[in-house]
C-alpha cells in the first residue's frame, strides 16, 4: 500500500491527476479502533505542559489522542537529560528517562505534556515539557461502495506528521472511485467515545467544483467510508470525475478486430472512444469497416451490453458517436464487405483465391 501524499499536495493535483485503476477486491476486515471526537483542521501538534498548568485545550488539540504506535518527542526545558524521543507502548504507556512509566494512551498532546510534567516534578522544580508528534500511528478505516478495491486499510500520516489522512486520500489507496460513484452523497460513519455512531455527509463534488479543502473530511481511526451508486451519470461530469486525484490513473480497454495493433490499451478514465482507437494504431484501412464499431460493456450487475456506434472522428467526447470509455470496455472493429469477401474467397479457392484477393485488395487504392 502506498503512503498517501499530504492533504495539501493531494488537492493541488486534484484536476491534473487521472487515476481509474484495477478492480481487484481487497479482503475486508471488521476490527475498528475507538475514534476521537469531532473532525478538525490539521493542528499544530506541539504543545507545552507544566506541573501547575490548567489551561484549556484548543479545538485543534482535541483532534488527536495518543495511542499505541505514536512516536513522540519529549523536550524538558533546562533538563536535557529528561528529554527523549519515544514510542507509545501497546498498553498506552511511555518509558521516561529517570522518572519511569507514565500513561498517555487516550490523552491529547496537552494532557500528555501535563502528565509527564507532573511525573518529572519529583525531580525538577516546576518542569516545563514540550510534546511533539513525530509520526502518527497508522489508523484503520473501512471503505465500501463504488471504489475499485473495497476493504479495510491502514492509513498513515502525510509527509508532515501533522497531516491527518482525509477521505480523498483513502479513496486513492482503495484504487479510486468507479464511474458509477455518487460523490455528492458520500458518508463517513464514526464511532463516538460514548459508543454512539455519527454519520458525516460529505459532498466531494463541491470539492471538485470549488476547491474548498474543508469539504475533504479528516478521518479518525475506525471510520467507515461509503460511496453510493449514482442513479444517473452525466457524461460531462464523468469526464471531470476522471480528472480527480481520487480517481484511478488509468483503465484497461480492449480494441479488437481490424486495427493495426489489436489488444489491451491503457487509457485515462473516460477517454473518448476515438482516442482508444488511435492508441491501437487506428483502423486497418485495407480491411476495416470504418463507418461503425461495436462497443461491448460488462455492467456492474454482471450483464453485458452491446451497442453499435457510428464513427465520426470530428465529434467531441460527449457525442453519442464518441462515448467516454469505462474500465474493461471492448471495442470491436469489424471487417469491411470487401475484406469479408476476400477472406471467404481465399478460404474457398486456396492459392487461386489468394491471387484474387490480392487483386481485390488494390481497389481501396483507387477510391
C-alpha distances out from residue 3 to 22, 84, 141, 157, 263, Å: 18, 26, 14, 8, 33
Share of the chain residues as helix, strand and coil, in percent rounded to the nearest 5: 25, 30, 50
pLDDT at 50: 44
Q: How does DSSP assign 279-296, residue by residue?
A: HTT-B-TTTB--SEEEEE
pLDDT at 19: 32
Separation of alpha carbons 213 and 231, rounded Å:
26
Separation of alpha carbons 46 and 149, rounded Å:
36
C-alpha distances out from residue 153 to 34, 174, 257, Å: 15, 8, 41
Please list the ranges in the chain whose pLDDT falls under 50: 1-61, 161, 355-356, 359-360, 362-367
pLDDT at 227: 93
pLDDT at 134: 85
Question: How many Cα atoms sit within 13 Å of 9 on the Cβ side?
Answer: 11
pLDDT at 54: 33
**What's the distance, Cα to Cα, between the start and end of the chain in Å?**
55
Three-point CA angle 303, 306, 308, nearest 5°:
170
190 SS3 class: strand
Which helix or strand (DSSP H or E) is residue 342 part of? Answer: helix 337-349
Domains of the chain (ranges; CATH) run 7-34+138-236 (3.10.560.10), 65-135 (3.30.1950.10), 251-335 (3.10.560.10)
Which tens digits make up the pLDDT trace of 23-47?
333 333 333 333 333 333 333 334 4
Name, in order, each residue with C-beta under 8 angstroms of 149's C-beta and a sequence gap of 6 or more: 22, 23, 24, 25, 26, 174, 175
165 SS3 class: coil
pLDDT at 242: 55
pLDDT at 342: 57
Separation of alpha carbons 217 and 49, rounded Å:
29
Amino acid at each position: 500500500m502506498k503512503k498517501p501524499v499530504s492533504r495539501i499536495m493531494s488537492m493541488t493535483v486534484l484536476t491534473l491527476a487521472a487515476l481509474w485503476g484495477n478492480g481487484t477486491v481487497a479482503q475486508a476486515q471488521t476490527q475498528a479502533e475507538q475514534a476521537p471526537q469531532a473532525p478538525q483542521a490539521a493542528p499544530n501538534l506541539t504543545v507545552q505542559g507544566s506541573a501547575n498548568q490548567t489551561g484549556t485545550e484548543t479545538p485543534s488539540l482535541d483532534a488527536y489522542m495518543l495511542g499505541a504506535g505514536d512516536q513522540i518527542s519529549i523536550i524538558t526545558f533546562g533538563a536535557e537529560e529528561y528529554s527523549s524521543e519515544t514510542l507509545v507502548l501497546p498498553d498506552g504507556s511511555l518509558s521516561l528517562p529517570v522518572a519511569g512509566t507514565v500513561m498517555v494512551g487516550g490523552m491529547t498532546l496537552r494532557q500528555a505534556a501535563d502528565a509527564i510534567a507532573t511525573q518529572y516534578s519529583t525531580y525538577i522544580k516546576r518542569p516545563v515539557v514540550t510534546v511533539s508528534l513525530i509520526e502518527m500511528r497508522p489508523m484503520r478505516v473501512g471503505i465500501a461502495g463504488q471504489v475499485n478495491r473495497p476493504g479495510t486499510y491502514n492509513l498513515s500520516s502525510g509527509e508532515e506528521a501533522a497531516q491527518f489522512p482525509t477521505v480523498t486520500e483513502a479513496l486513492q489507496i482503495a484504487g479510486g472511485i468507479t464511474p458509477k460513484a455518487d460523490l455528492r452523497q458520500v458518508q463517513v460513519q464514526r464511532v463516538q467515545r460514548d459508543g454512539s455512531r455519527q454519520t458525516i455527509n460529505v459532498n466531494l463534488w463541491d470539492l471538485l467544483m470549488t476547491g474548498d479543502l474543508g469539504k475533504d473530511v479528516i478521518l479518525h481511526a475506525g471510520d467507515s467510508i461509503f460511496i453510493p451508486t449514482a442513479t444517473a451519470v452525466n457524461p460531462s461530469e464523468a469526464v471531470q470525475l476522471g480528472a480527480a486525484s481520487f480517481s484511478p490513473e488509468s483503465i484497461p480497454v480492449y480494441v479488437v478486430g481490424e486495427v493495426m495493433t489489436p489488444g489491451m490499451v491503457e487509457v485515462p478514465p473516460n477517454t473518448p472512444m476515438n482516442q482508444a482507437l488511435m492508441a491501437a494504431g487506428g483502423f486497418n484501412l485495407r480491411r476495416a469497416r470504418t463507418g461503425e464499431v461495436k462497443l461491448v460493456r460488462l455492467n456492474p450487475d454482471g450483464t453485458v451490453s452491446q451497442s453499435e456506434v457510428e464513427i465520426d472522428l470530428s465529434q467531441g467526447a460527449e457525442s453519442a458517436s464518441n462515448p467516454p470509455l469505462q474500465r474493461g470496455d471492448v471495442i470491436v472493429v469489424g471487417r469491411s464487405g470487401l475484406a469479408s469477401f476476400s477472406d471467404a474467397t481465399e478460404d474457398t479457392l486456396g492459392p487461386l483465391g489468394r491471387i484474387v484477393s490480392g487483386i481485390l485488395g488494390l481497389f481501396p487504392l483507387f477510391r
